[in-house]
Amino acid sequence: MLARSALRSSRTLGAARNGAVHTSKRAASSSSSSADASPFRLNMAGTAATAVAIGSLAWYYHLYGTELHAMTMTEEGLHATKYPWVHKEYTKTFDHQALRRGFQVYREVCSSCHSLSRIPYRSLVGVTHTVDEAKAMAEENEYDSEPNDEGEIEKRPGKLSDYLPNPYKNDEAARAANNGALPPDLSLMVKARHGGCDYIFSLLTGYPEEPPPGVKLPDGLNFNPYFPGTGIAMARVLYNELVEYEDGTPATTSQMAKDVVEFLNWSAEPEMDQRKKMGMKVLVIGTALFALSVWVKRYKWSPIKTRKIAYNPPIQGGKH
Amino acid sequence: MGFFDSISDMLEAALPWSTAEAEAPKEEETKDEESSDKSEEEGSEEKEEEPEEEEEEEEELEDPKEKFEEECKESKACAPAKHHFDECVERVTSADHGKPVDKKHPDEDCVEEFFHLAHCASTCAAPKLWNALK
């Protein structure tokens, strides 16, 4: 509001100055020298008005122009570093070997605290595991079956259509086991946080050996620069050689973090590979159709573009 | 769907390149009842591809991220951030040891200095790290 009115006032001032120049010119040309229309005074008035306009703008900027930071840097958290993820490129798919390793990390490390409630065993088939492997994993867990004749609900081994089991019965149990902090579900975590993959990777690998001096955190919180507020209830979980990869990849902390993050990216958008392929198809078919339409247009217009309009003026009057 | 599938199947057969195989062998297995021997084959194939990586394995694994970031912290580009952080550490820790506390900032911590240094180091290490990881 203020800015607009300030602008408007400066515009009217400019108009006024132009007017002043005109009148002074006219005064000069008509050579009637009157004291109050002296060019010096008018110029002074214009200059002063412009100075006031600029001053008011500057004042406005001083009051409202600069960005306000309500949060301190600590509360904001360190912004995650950008990593050159291969699967983020437009023509690249997930690395399914990495997905398989990432699932292993989730299963052996994260799954004791975090659920992955949107992923059924069947969706791992053909992505990270074969049918038989997925079936075998599902059968390791027990699920409620249909009520039997007495109405009792018995347990049955898991099937491909079952979802990955939750580590806790409910959120309250999860909180109680984790010092009051709820380990969030990881299915959509990559989409749920600013920075996505970069953030989670930085979070998992970003625990410094000791917090910088002067930091005071409440009991039960761990220092992690990437977590807003820097005090996170999850302690560092990944250490070198915590898991043993079946393909022999050295299980360093950052390798495990990278794999599990790529896996979590898959769990958040399992359709990504297909989506990129579909996007390419759209582009290819679209460009082909466009080219076709250009040729068709040329074809249809050719009679009109190549016609020649001749005008033979009628012969007027008689012969001379 | 069937129509387009058959077209793309024909295309695939004719094209000089093949589609990525992440899913294909497993799909076959879905149809195949006795697939246990097949998955074994697959496993052995995977192992054949890997041995190059194992050479790098040492007794104690060193995390490449830590290694690169340590190097980066010492680099010239991060020298100003490191200087400020070290200075802050000095100031804050010495305040704890009986020295007169800085009146202006009684509860100073080094989080901001730490952020700048960590940001510099991790940005510098990111491309190297991705080259080192699989």
Out of B30, B54, B112, closest to residue A131 by CB: B30
Interface test with A, best of B36, B54, B78, B109 (most A CBs within 10 A): B109
Q: How much is the ipTM here?
A: 0.72
Token pair, residue A126, equals 């053909």
The band of B117, judged by pLDDT with boundaries at 50, 70 and 90, is very high
Cβ-defined contact of B23 to A126 (cutoff 8 Å):
yes
Q: What whole-number percentage of chain B has pLDDT above 90?
A: 40
Checking if the pLDDT of B34 tops 50, the result is no
Q: Is residue A50 part of a domain?
A: no
Write the CA distances from A160 to A111, A131, B42, integer angstroms: 18, 8, 21
Task: List the single residue in B with minimal CA-CA distance to A123.
Answer: B23
Q: Is residue A268 part of a domain?
A: yes
pLDDT for A25-80, tens place per residue? 454 444 445 556 788 999 999 999 999 999 999 999 999 988 888 888 889 999 99
Instruction: Please give the pLDDT value at position B31.
Output: 46
What's the number of domains chain A is made of?
A: 1
CA atoms in the 13 A half-sphere facing the CB of B6: 2
Q: Over range B4-20, report the average pLDDT.
A: 77
Instruction: Please give the pLDDT value at position A126.
Output: 93
Instruction: Please give the pLDDT value at position B56.
Output: 47
- Superfamily designation of domain B63-93+108-133: Ubiquinol-cytochrome C reductase hinge domain (1.10.287.20)
**pTM to 2 decimal places:** 0.75
Interface test with B, best of A69, A75, A78 (most B CBs within 10 A): A78
Q: Is residue A19 part of a domain?
A: no
Domain boundaries, position A228: 181-285
Helices within chain A (DSSP H only): 2-29, 39-60, 73-76, 96-108, 131-139, 171-177, 189-192, 196-205, 253-268, 272-306
Residue A127, phi then psi, degrees to nearest 5: -110, -55
Checking if the pLDDT of B47 tops 80, the result is no
Instruction: Please give the pLDDT value at position A211.
Output: 93
Q: Report the CATH number that the domain containing residue A241 is assigned in CATH.
A: 1.10.760.10
Which residue ranges make up each domain of chain B? 63-93+108-133
The band of B16, judged by pLDDT with boundaries at 50, 70 and 90, is confident
Packed helices A2-29 and A39-60: angle between N→C axes, nearest 10 degrees: 170
Helices within chain B (DSSP H only): 2-14, 24-31, 36-49, 51-54, 64-74, 79-96, 111-132
Q: How many Cβ atoms from other residues are within 10 Å of residue B65's Cβ?
A: 26
Contact B110, B89 (CB under 8 A): yes
Instruction: Please give the pLDDT value at position B29.
Output: 46
Rounded CA separation B86/B75 (Å): 15
CA distance A224 to chain B (A): 11
Beta strands at A153-157 and A142-147: parallel, antiparallel or unpaired: antiparallel
Q: Is residue A193 part of a domain?
A: yes
Checking if the pLDDT of B61 tops 60, the result is yes
Cβ-defined contact of B127 to A255 (cutoff 8 Å):
no
Token pair, residue A68, equals 């306000």
Instruction: Please give the pLDDT value at position B1.
Output: 58
Instruction: Please give the pLDDT value at position B97.
Output: 61
- Which residues of chain B neighbour A271 with C-beta distances below 8 Å? none
User: A81 touching B, CB under 8 A?
Assistant: yes
Instruction: Please give the pLDDT value at position B118.
Output: 96
pLDDT in tens, chain A (320 residues): 455 554 555 454 444 455 444 544 454 444 445 556 788 999 999 999 999 999 999 999 999 988 888 888 889 999 999 999 999 999 999 999 999 999 999 999 999 999 999 999 999 999 999 999 999 999 999 999 999 999 999 999 999 999 999 999 999 999 999 999 999 999 999 999 999 999 999 999 999 999 999 898 999 999 999 999 999 999 999 999 999 999 999 999 999 999 999 999 999 999 999 999 999 999 999 999 999 999 999 999 999 999 999 999 998 886 66
Task: List the single residue in B with minimal CA-CA distance to A227.
Answer: B115
